[in-house]
Amino acid sequence: MTAAARAIRHQSLSPQDAAQGGTQGAAQGTANAAFAADVIAGFRKPQKALSPKYFYDEAGSILFEEITDTPEYYPTRAEMSILRDRAKEIAALIPDGAAVVEFGSGSSKKARILLQAVGPLAAYVSVDISGEMLVQEADALRRDFPHLTVVPVVADITQRFPLPREAMAAPVRVGFFPGSTIGNFEPHAAAAFLRNAADILGPGALMIVGADLVKPADILNAAYNDSRGVTARFNLNLLTRINRELGGNFDPSAFEHHAFFNRERSRVEMHLASVKRQKVRVAGETFEFRPGETIHTESSYKYSIESLGALARGVGWQPVKAWTDRDGLFSIQAFRLAGSATDDQPRKPT
């Protein structure tokens, strides 16, 4: 929305709109307070750290889409190839009249492939922390799928949130969690996310998860250190966001992007490394950085099909089926809540 459009909208607010705007303002204030609390707590740790969920402001979401187009970053291409090649098999697990709930939807390009393959749905619910992109994608989906009920929900997918009535009225709900985001959680937090998703989706739910697979370190290191420097800008944008939203005074040029594969922990780590001794103020507090000291901004765990299956079983999800791309770089795995049908037979003809 342009500045002029925002001004016109502000001038034409109805009393109901004004009340809604006040509610949205209060929600934004709450979100900023939570962001500030997380940053302060993270910077007080012996190893300074930030949650990767804060990458995804509007600029960060755009930069991530650019990352997926870099030649070194294989996960999106590999996952898209699985979705294109196996869409009918995946869709066969989703009964007619179900509601599909995408956790951390961002761009809808992966959901579109699935939506084209499934039968009639009660609703597609897109859930993301970045509200502006969420609304834009929902509007585009409504244009392209005119008979589909599309309901965007602004929420933190790591927390419990209520589903809209359109999804709750469906006989079964299907979680869709592509993009290897499951690997951004520490293993205990990944288990907590899957447990939370089970509570949100309810009995009989299906969960379709994208997960990056273990592979040689040279492929992984190149993927997170692309030659165009897009991943570096994505990482450094976190400091720009802190400056803008929390009154920080970071100099992004005084930090470097570092990414490497930690073989012992089966994860790629991303850090922001201070290039000099410096003090930075954030949300009214001062933090010191030594030369070379880092902020750990992301871990991306790499799973095998077996290891992710074991993690999911531990919180009540039973493995149903798994698909990989032709090079074995990436996987899409389907799980069903324990106690419901767990066979891997399609629910409808392919």
pLDDT for the residue numbered 165:
96
- What pLDDT was estimated at residue 56? 84
Give the Cα separation of 229 and 143 in Å (integer): 35
Instruction: Check pLDDT > 70 for residue 111.
Output: yes
pLDDT for the residue 32: 84
Asked whether residue 202 falls in the same domain as residue 297, the answer is no
**Is residue 5 situated within a structural domain?**
no
* Per-residue pLDDT reduced to its tens digit, 289-306: 999 999 999 999 999 999
pLDDT at site 29: 67
Show the domain range for 247.
40-69+219-301
Q: Does some domain include residue 23?
A: no
Tell me: do 88 and 160 sit in the same domain: yes
Q: Which residue reads 């990056």 in tokens?
A: 212
pLDDT value of position 30: 67
Each residue's pLDDT tens digit, 22-41: 444 555 566 789 999 999 99
State residue 130's pLDDT score. 73
The answer to the question of residue 208 being in a domain is yes
Residue 154 lies in a domain: yes
Q: Which residues pair with 285 in a beta bridge?
A: 282
Give per-residue pLDDT as tens, 175-197: 999 989 999 999 999 999 999 99
208 in the same domain as 91:
yes
Answer whether 123's CB lies under 8 Å from 150's CB.
yes
**193 three-state secondary structure:** helix
Summarize the confidence of residues 268-292 as an average pLDDT.
Answer: 97
Question: Residue 62 corresponds to which tokens in the numbers above?
Answer: 């755009």
Same domain (yes/no): 280, 316? no
Task: Find, among 318, 226, 213, the residue nearest to 266 by Cα.
Answer: 213
Residues 210-267 have pLDDT tens digits of: 999 999 999 999 999 999 999 999 999 999 999 999 999 999 999 999 999 999 999 9
Please check whether residues 182 and 88 belong to one and the same domain. yes
Here the CATH number for the domain that contains residue 210 is 3.40.50.150
Say whether both 125 and 145 belong to one domain: yes
The pTM score is: 0.82
Answer yes or no: do 165 and 144 share one domain: yes
Q: How many domains does the chain have?
A: 2
- In which residue are the tokens 């090079």 written? 327
Q: Concatenated DSSP letters for 299-336?
A: EEE-B-HHHHHHHHHTTTEEEEEEEE-TTS-EEEEEEE
Q: Is residue 12 part of a domain?
A: no
Which of the two residues, 137 and 28, has the higher pLDDT score? 137
Same domain, 311 and 195: yes
How far is residue 147's CA from residue 314's CA, in Å, rounded to a whole number?
A: 38
Identify the pLDDT of residue 61.
85
**The pLDDT of residue 13:** 30
* pLDDT (average), residues 11-28: 42
- Tell me the average pLDDT across 145-151: 96
Is residue 33 in a domain? no
- pLDDT > 80? residue 12: no
Mean pLDDT within 263-292: 97
Per-residue confidence (pLDDT) for residue 1, from 0 to 100 = 30
Report the first-to-last Cα separation within the chain, whole angstroms.
42
The pLDDT, as a whole number, for residue 25 is: 52
Whole-number pLDDT of residue 27: 53
Give the per-residue pLDDT at 338.
76
Residue 193 and residue 314 share a domain: yes
Look up tokens 């393959």; give the residue.
117
Same-domain pairing of 307 and 175: yes
> Would you report the helix, strand and coil content of the chain in percent, each value rounded to 5?
45, 25, 35
Structural domain contains residue 137: yes
User: Do 171 and 143 belong to one domain?
Assistant: yes
- Residue 342 confidence class, pLDDT cut points 50, 70, 90: very low
User: What are the φ and ψ backbone dihedral angles of 318, each rounded to 5 degrees?
Assistant: -100, 130
274 in any annotated domain: yes
pLDDT at 344: 43
Whole-number pLDDT of residue 265: 96
Do 312 and 200 fall within a single domain?
yes
